[in-house]
Amino acid sequence: MLFMYFLVLIFGILINYFVIKNYNNLNLNILLDKEYSKPQSFHKHPVLCFGGSSIYILFLIIFLLFDLKFLNHFFLLATVSFFIGLLDDFKIKLRPFFRLMLIFILFFASIKFLNININYLNVNFLNEIFKDYYYLKLFFVTLCFVFIINGSNFIDGFNGLLTIHALIILSIVNFINYYFSNYDLLIFGVISFSAILSFAFFNFPKAKLFLGDSGSYLIGTLISYLIIQTSNYNPNIPSFFFCCLLYYLFFEVFFSFIRKLFYEKKNPLIPDKNHLHMLFFSITKKKVKFFNSNFSTGFYLNAIYTLTLIPIFYFYNNIFFLKYYFFILLTFYSFYYYKLRKWK
């Protein structure tokens, strides 16, 4: 199996290198990101949005060559999210509300077809409700996917920010599955880690490739799926452990929606430049020499994220602590955002 992980990594690197050198001959110029005026754009030269395609190609090859338990289910979800994101990469613009509804409807149908389920939550009243109302539970599972997919898309924009964030989450999830001997899930998780790592070499610290919407949607889908399955296969770990693990991606969406709708009085679905990572970059690039580059934002914020997770490893099975710590993390995010906004 180690050979397969190494093969995925090397083959992914070769695909990305070949495309970078030959995208003109391959007629992939349409995937060049030249929209410098977008709120999330911080680059000054065209960059190829091929990262999502390279990761998807790797999953496609593995899907065709190997019969892996979890990949068979995941590949349908990956295909849905990848091609919705690819529309934007191909400059086919959808209205934000229509795109959100398209993601929700297609994922709702796919999750029902695949019978993807969250077995148990450490919130008793939700368990009781979901026990009697199947479609309400299906709606909740779909909402979990939609939040993390959009959170991944929101934080994508700085070199390595989403990529490193995903690798950190996958490392933790893979360790859990290794420790508790869930080897089928571990195999899928390590293959996923190798696929993303093969792209990371071309995105951090200097970006020769971007993920594009296809890549951020695909990574968001992968994280959501792995977290749900890991939670189901490790019932001794409280669900609030995984809530803490996902707090940045989840709360980035929730906080941004509330901020735009009630504080700034504007359409919450329209992109802007007031996300936490954008505020951090715009402030620190003027004051601290080390933080004046694109990639340093991704490095710093992921370092802070990693440090905030340390306590959950000491209390990984303490439901009481994890519940309160989850809300501490949300408070920390809110306070940090407030201070950045005030400084700006």
19-57 pLDDT, tens digit each: 999 998 888 888 988 775 565 566 667 889 999 999 999
- State residue 42's pLDDT score: 61
Three-state secondary structure call for residue 47: strand
Query: Residues 173-184: pLDDT tens digits?
Result: 999 999 999 999
In this structure, the number of other CB atoms found within 10 A of the CB of residue 104 comes to 16
Residue 290 has pLDDT above 60, yes or no: no
Instruction: Compute the distance between CA of residue 154 and CA of residue 21 in angstroms, rounded to an integer.
Output: 29
- Contact predicate 148/223, CB 8 Å: yes
Of the candidates 44, 32, 74, the one whose C-alpha atom is nearest the C-alpha of residue 224 is 74
Global confidence as pTM: 0.95
Q: What is the full DSSP assignment across 96-160?
A: HHHHHHHHHHHHHHHHHHHT------S-HHHHHHHHH-HHHHHHHHHHHHHHHHHHHHHHBTBTT
Residue 267 has pLDDT above 60, yes or no: yes
Per-residue confidence band for 336, with pLDDT thresholds at 50, 70 and 90: very high
> What's the chain's average pLDDT?
91
Residue 285 has pLDDT above 90, yes or no: no
Instruction: Supply angle C-alpha 316, 318, 323, rounded to 5.
Output: 95
Instruction: Compute the distance between CA of residue 124 and CA of residue 319 in angstroms, rounded to an integer.
Output: 13
- Contact predicate 162/156, CB 8 Å: yes
Instruction: Compute the distance between CA of residue 114 and CA of residue 143 in angstroms, rounded to an integer.
Output: 16
